[in-house]
């Protein structure tokens, strides 16, 4: 009897001019948490789309329980026990939890939904996940973590034996992350095989039994997680040794470029004061929900301030809109690059020039040739991996998309740049490229505010750190005195009793 629940052999997928998958193998044991890692563009998503029947393979073989299977749609894959939870949830906000779990598959009698049975079945599905969610509650009122539970219950309602989880932790708080880990381990103990995709390598070692590494559309290796360490995985993912994850640099700060005094937004944050000099990278960290992003949005004019003063190069400025912020030399690389930083259906060229279209104007006319020349300049200088400047941004990897956002703000010649979670959802190789670019920009005299939840990133990148909790700055740490323990002590401190 074959010991593997799932086997994928010699999977090959070609597109015009590129081989997306080149003879890839994947074998998953019953009840195994099998992690799938690789840089953006390694082929992980394409392989999973083949597995769930979303795209056809050109060559290869898929076996379930030792038997070869053939299917050409996600619906057929679901009938074979294969289901996927995408990073962007596929839920209907105005419907109830129960309706979402059994969407398109609700129990019916003579064509009418049996509501009592629907809620009973939904309750049973949630109980399996140790969740006390009300099946009648509207999904639109749920937190991200609760919506994820609904997605998992929905996937399991089709009797899934193989569950694919794509970056399930990307938008979760630390508390929600602990709940997710417990849920994954529980499903594994129930015999569900889980293919777990994540760029957070620490999660691999917390959850995984086995790990498969992909690179450039190829299978590189499969190991038991206990047999490898972080450096092993990074080396296999990028194909080279990475000696220094965070680049070294000598900092000689210039004059104070940004000074904020007693900033407040009623009910959100208060008494926020800090400075950033030209050439400095200053971090703003703290737990999710501490108010970091809200401060960034207010500095950029996206949300109104109710108190305080902002000084740029010692000049007091009033900023009422993002347009005014851009005009004064302030740029914001948002946490949600796909919905707020980019227009995904548009080209690389159009995205790069959208914040400063005046750079491509000749009189009242926008010249496509000038736009292309500008875009080509940044594609070259930032090493943006795109076939051409007319490529649709949606088709690019996460790290490449982030470089396009960065090019957009560099074109505005900003004096002050805010990076809000700049490396979320991108692989370790792309992270290092972003880190290098941040330091290069700072070396040109730009003041940078780096908002990050990743403590190693905060410690490795920032000259100074401000730590927030519940809308207040709890303290400032300089590079020599900062460590993870010191940050967490401030991030969890009682606001009434903090020694800075």
pLDDT (tens digit per residue) in 109-120 = 888 888 888 889
| End-to-end Cα separation, the chain, in angstroms | 64
Local confidence band at 174 (pLDDT 50, 70, 90 cut-offs): low
Provide the pLDDT for residue 142.
85
Angle between helices 368-381 and 398-411 (to 10 degrees): 120
| Contact present, 209 and 29 (Cβ < 8 Å) | yes
Domains in the chain, ordered, with CATH? 6-238 (3.40.50.300), 256-491 (3.40.50.300)
CB atoms near residue 127 (< 10 Å): 12
Provide the pLDDT for residue 53.
94
The CA distance from 221 to 353, in Å, is: 41
Local confidence band at 499 (pLDDT 50, 70, 90 cut-offs): very low
The CA distance from 315 to 326, in Å, is: 16
Provide the pLDDT for residue 494.
63
- Report whether pLDDT(241) > 60: no
Taking the model in full, what pTM does it have?
0.63
Structural tokens at position 197: 């995709």
pLDDT (tens digit per residue) in 344-390 = 899 999 989 988 887 877 777 777 888 889 999 888 888 888 888 99
Ramachandran angles phi, psi of 112, nearest 5°: -100, 140
The CA distance from 390 to 392, in Å, is: 6
Provide the pLDDT for residue 2.
62
Ramachandran angles phi, psi of 344, nearest 5°: -60, -35
The CA distance from 163 to 159, in Å, is: 10
Supply the DSSP symbol for 339.
I
Closest to 464 (Cα-Cα) out of 451, 474, 478 = 478
Closest to 130 (Cα-Cα) out of 186, 84, 192, 168 = 186
pLDDT (tens digit per residue) in 305-355 = 999 999 999 999 999 999 999 999 999 988 777 777 888 899 999 989 988
pLDDT (tens digit per residue) in 35-70 = 999 877 788 989 999 999 999 999 999 999 999 999
| N residues, the chain | 500
Share of the chain above pLDDT 90, in %: 41
């Amino acid at each position: 009897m074959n010991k593997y629940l799932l086997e994928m052999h010699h999977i090959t997928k070609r597109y015009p001019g590129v081989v997306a998958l080149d003879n890839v193998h994947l074998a998953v044991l019953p009840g195994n948490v099998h992690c799938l890692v690789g840089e953006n563009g390694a082929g992980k998503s394409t392989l999973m789309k083949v597995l769930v029947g979303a795209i056809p393979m050109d060559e290869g073989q898929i076996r379930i329980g030792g038997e070869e299977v053939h299917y050409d749609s996600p619906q057929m894959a679901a009938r074979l026990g294969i289901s996927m939870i995408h990073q962007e949830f596929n839920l209907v906000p105005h419907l109830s939890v129960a309706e979402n779990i059994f969407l398109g598959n609700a129990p019916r009698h003579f064509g009418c939904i049996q509501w009592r049975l629907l809620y009973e079945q939904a309750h049973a599905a949630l109980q399996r996940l140790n969740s006390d969610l009300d099946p009648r509650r509207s999904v639109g009122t749920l937190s991200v973590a609760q919506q994820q539970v609904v997605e998992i219950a929905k996937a399991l309602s089709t009797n899934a034996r193989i569950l694919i989880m794509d970056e399930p932790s990307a938008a979760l708080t630390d508390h929600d992350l602990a709940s997710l880990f417990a849920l994954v381990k529980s499903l594994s103990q129930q015999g569900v095989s889980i293919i777990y995709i994540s760029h957070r390598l620490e999660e691999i070692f917390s959850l995984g039994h086995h790990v498969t590494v992909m690179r450039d559309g190829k299978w590189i290796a499969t190991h038991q997680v206990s047999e490898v360490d972080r450096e092993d995985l990074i080396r296999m993912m990028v194909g080279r040794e990475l000696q220094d994850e965070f680049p070294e640099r000598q900092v000689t700060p210039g004059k104070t470029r940004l000074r904020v005094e007693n900033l407040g937004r009623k009910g959100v944050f208060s008494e926020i004061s800090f400075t950033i000099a030209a050439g400095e990278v200053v971090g703003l960290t703290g737990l999710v929900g501490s108010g970091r992003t809200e401060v960034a949005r207010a500095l950029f004019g996206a949300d109104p301030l109710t108190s305080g003063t902002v000084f740029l190069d010692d000049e007091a400025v009033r900023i009422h809109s993002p347009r005014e912020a851009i005009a004064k030399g302030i740029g914001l690389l948002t946490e949600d690059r796909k919905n707020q930083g980019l227009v995904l259906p548009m080209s690389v060229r159009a995205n790069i020039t959208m914040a400063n279209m005046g750079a491509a104007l000749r009189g009242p006319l926008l010249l496509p040739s000038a736009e292309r020349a500008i875009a080509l300049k940044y594609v070259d200088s930032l090493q943006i991996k795109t076939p051409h400047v007319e490529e649709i941004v949606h088709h690019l990897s996460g790290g490449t998309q982030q470089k396009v956002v960065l090019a957009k703000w560099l074109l505005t010649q900003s004096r002050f740049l805010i990076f809000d979670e700049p490396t979320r959802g991108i692989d370790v190789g792309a992270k290092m490229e972003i880190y290098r670019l941040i330091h290069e920009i700072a070396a040109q005299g730009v003041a940078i505010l780096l908002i990050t939840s990743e403590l190693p990133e905060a410690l490795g990148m920032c000259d100074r750190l401000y730590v927030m909790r519940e809308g207040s700055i709890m303290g400032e740490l300089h590079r020599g005195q900062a460590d993870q323990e010191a940050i967490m002590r401030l991030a969890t401190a009682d606001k009434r009793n903090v020694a800075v």
